[in-house]
Chains A and B, each alone.
Chain A
């Protein structure tokens, strides 16, 4: 491999949601944590399930499985703590994942205009073509409020 080719390689964390695998840029991942108790309280942000307590921090749990594979995870084993950017600030968001994650180095193909907003790009690994996730587009935040509010309509609070 040439020096130029090595420079194209990036690190990604491969995660599994049910039978499907997805990738997140490794620099957007803080850690992978064991199952934790989810604390629930009333709120109206539909994508947020509750919060977990991790090293003194209260981290929102965002179940992305419904958006990505069409159903919520029932056999959840770990939480992947991703770094979500809000303007100049960053906060952790816990993504429930099935099974352990894997760190790989590979090249990423950029997303095209026809890809969904949550797709940051594509990579090829072990014969699979895997979506690289855009955490900012996938998880809720003030920037997504109008669209999500319209989608939720008159949803009940989620205790």
Chain B
């Protein structure tokens, strides 16, 4: 038997999470990280197209006042099969809105295990860790992990000119929605 004991999971603490789907895969995100949940339909007319070189995962941007909110296609970000997406999570304290297929349920997790160190590539910036819910292992996403500073710079440089009327409408509509928490 080994003399050294493997690192134990972190301490117990309850955290409200949203379990959601992208291309048939389950993910979780802290409810506190989600400022708003919008249907794609409700965003029609409030976004403009954007084409950034090498960044296929962002096709649309919404203006909120003077702030640009980049809509990240979750399937493209994770390298999953393309999926149309039905909901948009506006992520708090980021410039990211995440396009997902749907919400599975709201629940809570009591333990978040750090991503094993065997995972040593981009996934380390994608996930806060892993959790087990009803004997199913689900990755918990990191809201700031969808767009790096370099990607944000590329997107800012690729920003199209936004018509004032669209900008005003987007800002007023987005500000009038409810928080997910």
Asked if A39 contacts B137 (CB within 8 A), the reply is yes
Contacts of A26 in B (CB 8 A): 1
- The reply on B157 being an interface residue by CB < 8 A is no
Q: Which residues 116-133 of B sit at the A interface, judged by CB distance below 8 A?
A: 116-123, 126, 130, 132
Residues A27 and B2 in contact, CB atoms below 8 Å apart: yes
**A-binding segment of B3-11, B31-39, B98-106:** B3-11
B116 touches A51 (CB 8 A): yes
A120 CB, min distance to chain B CBs, angstroms? 15
CB distance from A47 to the nearest CB of B (A): 8
Kindly identify, within residues 22 to 37 of chain A, every residue whose CB is under 8 Å from any CB belonging to chain B. Answer: 26-30
| Beta-carbon contact of A57 and B9 below 8 Å | yes
Known: A30-B2, A42-B25, A42-B78. A53 touches B137 (CB 8 A): yes
Q: Output the least CB separation between A9 and chain B (Å).
A: 17
Least CB distance, B129 to chain A, in whole angstroms:
9
Chain B residues with CB below 8 A from A121, complex form: none
Question: Could you tell me the distance in whole angstroms from the C-beta of B109 to the nearest C-beta in chain A?
Answer: 12
**Band of interface residues on A:** 35 or more
Contact B1 A141 (CB under 8 A): no
Q: Let me know if B80 is at the binding interface, CB within 8 A.
A: yes
Which residues of chain B have C-beta atoms less than 8 A from A92's C-beta?
A: 6
Note all chain B residues with C-beta closer than 8 A to A144.
120
Most buried by A among B27, B117, B126: B117
Are A41 and B121 in contact (CB-based, < 8 A)?
A: no
Complex: how many Å from CA A156 to CA B80? 9
Indicate if the CB atoms of B4 and A157 lie closer than 8 Å. no
A60-B118 contact in complex given A39-B137, A53-B135, C-beta closer than 8 Å: yes
Q: Which of A68-76, A83-91, A108-116, A124-132 contacts B (4 or more CB under 8 A)?
A: A83-91
Q: Determine if A148 is an interface residue (Cβ-Cβ < 8 Å).
A: yes
List residues 76-130 of chain B with CB under 8 A from any CB of chain A: 78-80, 111, 113, 116-123, 126, 130
Contact in complex: A157, B78 (CB < 8 Å): yes
**A62 in the interface, Cβ–Cβ < 8 Å?**
yes
B residues in contact with A53, CB < 8 Å: 132, 135, 137
Q: Nearest chain B CB to A145's CB is how many angstroms away? A: 5
Whether A43 sits at the interface, judged by CB under 8 Å, is yes
In the complex, besides A41-B138, A44-B121, A90-B5, 16 extra interface pairs with C-beta distance below 8 angstroms are A29-B1, A42-B80, A42-B123, A44-B123, A45-B120, A51-B116, A56-B9, A58-B113, A84-B117, A140-B120, A148-B120, A149-B121, A152-B121, A157-B80, A159-B78, A159-B80
- Interface residues of chain B, those whose CB is within 8 Å of chain A, are 1-7, 9, 23, 25-27, 78-80, 111, 113, 116-123, 126, 130, 132, 135-139
